[in-house]
Amino acid sequence: MKLVECVPNFSEGRDREKISTITKEIESTPHVNLLDVDPGESTNRTVVTFIGSPEGVKEAAFKAIKKAAEVLDMSKHKGAHSRIGATDVCPFVPVSGVTMEDCVQLAHELGERVAKELGIPVYLYEEAAQKPERKNLANIRVGEYEGLPEKFKDPEWAPDYGKPVFNPKAGATVIGAREFLIAYNVNLNTRDRRLAHEIALNIRERGRAKRDEDGNIVRDANGKAINIPGKFKAVKAVGWYIDDYEIAQISINFINYKITPPHFVFDEAIKEAEKLGLRVTGSELVGLIPKEALLMAGRHYLTKQGKSPGVPEEDLIKTAISSLGLDDVAPFDPQKKIIEYQFKETESSLLDLNLREFANELSVDSPAPGGGSTAALCGALSASLSSMVSNLTVGKKEYKNVQKDVKEIAMNAQSLKDEFLRAVDLDTMAFNKLMDAYRLPKKTKEQEQEREQAIEEAVKEATMVPFGVLEKSIDALNLATQIALKGNKNSLSDAGVAGLTAQAAAEGAYYNVKINLPNLQDSEFKSKIKKQATSLKNKAVKLGDELKEIIERELK
């Protein structure tokens, strides 16, 4: 699922009516979910968080920036936070299924449109920055809104999009792309803020000032303090005391959890605390966290326990929560704290049905769910069996030479299982979208053209969902073959069924691709997909037959 987070900051934190007028623009945008609106009285600033599809988020951001320019007047704005415009900053953040490059592209497209249609000068920052000095937001904000007229006189500070012309009402806007910021606190069994800060100095990237034997700060030839770097990159940290909990915490910001994930720092904080005679009692997440960060933690702690990390997503998350002590000071609900869980592609999912309910739904006269969803389910069952055989091999002495391999197979199978399960819903969604396209009006020539275009796009989507299942089926067959050769021989029949269900998924998906092709007008697309699908199906049959031979031979 392609998900992007957007966190625009608007220069209004006191007038709730104006704030609501802006956020309604976001809420009314399809494929977008408004997560949080956080106004600040003293800063006179509101931080808004929403997620959705890349195109949906880009459209919602534009509408919000446009509305902010209409209802806010920067010439009358006063607040404690530095700012340069009605929409001060608007970053795009990759969440899932998108890259940083995708978010940089979104920043460029939004920046160009804001400058062109709204007459607001736009600067690009962080990963979207066009100049090194513009990567840091603080550099762009120097002089703030009031200094923009003078700033525009300097050719070096011409906006990235738009003319260097002062917009008195809206000011300027900074648009960019950055990694997800995780706000996280480690809890200590002390009230002493200084001890918490001592640990923070050791773990944060900036580290601490170097001191001489007398405790004086050591400086370089230019008088600048020399720092001793801390242990972790992309980590900011301080120690503080929290009245509500009556404990000291190490307050940490993870600028890029892919460089340094929270569980690395949590483990190190435990070691550092022990040196000071302290104990870490748990931790606290402030705001939301990407699912992958918790999955990484779950795999890390299961591996430390000598167990297989190739378990369902829910088990990994449960392991992460308990290992990090995320419910130490407050209940931790993954449904509310994991950002991906805040956005659903469909209101009702087939995956919420039990086996009997799914079979019943499949058996009635509605055309969806049908063969496409069933083929995807077969793929999920295949991957699940491969993971099961792998996990039944982990820790067995007679298979000590393949432990690394079977753990990797289990993890790959779990990921593949989740992809197949998503396709169960996607296939039905694609079919329903096609039916909706056929129901579009065709009274006028223009309506007829729009209807034909919608049908063509819907047929392509209905073709590509099973095509994706067909592609994944090859992976499922390869995993089933690998575990049949390396896995626990007592579960050989299970590996065989994994192969059979993967082959059924492949051939079933192939049928669903073929049935859609005659309805396509794009002959080049049709020819290409038909050729690729036939090749994949033939490969699946070959792999399936080879696996059957292995199973028959070994079971004699």
Catalytically annotated residues: 81, 427
φ/ψ bin of 287: left (φ > 0), alpha (ψ from -120 to 50), beta (otherwise): left
From CA 134, how far away is CA 106, in angstroms rounded?
Answer: 18
Cis check for the bond before 369: say yes or no (omega within 30 of 0).
yes
Strands (E), 428-491: none
Q: Tokens 């919602």 belong to which residue? A: 60
Tell me how far apart the alpha carbons of residues 225 and 212 are, in angstroms, rounded to a whole number: 12
Torsion of CA 308, 314, 318, 324, to 10 degrees: 80
Please provide the DSSP assignment of 74-114 as one string: GGG---SS--SBSEEEEEEEEEES--HHHHHHHHHHHHHHH
Phi, psi of 87 (to 5 degrees): -100, 105
- The CA dihedral of 305, 308, 314, 317, to the nearest 10 degrees, is 40
Q: Which residues lie below 8 Å from residue 287, measured CB to CB, with a gap of 6+?
A: 36, 182, 183
Rounded CA separation 329/399 (Å): 43
Planar angle of CA 313, 317, 318, nearest 5 degrees: 115
Which amino acid type is present at position 289? I
Encoding tokens for residue 105? 């592209």
Does residue 434 contact residue 462 with C-beta atoms inside 8 Å?
yes
Q: Are residues 249 and 239 in contact, defined by beta-carbon separation less than 8 angstroms? A: yes
First to last CA, the chain: 44
Please count the other Cβ atoms lying within 10 Å of the Cβ belonging to residue 339.
21
Location of structure tokens 């525009």: 152
CA distance 456 to 458: 5
Q: Are 251 and 158 in contact (CB under 8 A)?
A: no
* Cβ-contact 47, 6 below 8 angstroms: no
Tokens 């090749």 belong to 535
The dihedral through the CA atoms of 538, 379, 94, 349 has a sign that is: positive
Residue 338 has what DSSP assignment? B
Residues paired with 182 in a beta bridge = 254
Are 486 and 551 spatial neighbours (Cβ–Cβ below 8 Å)?
no
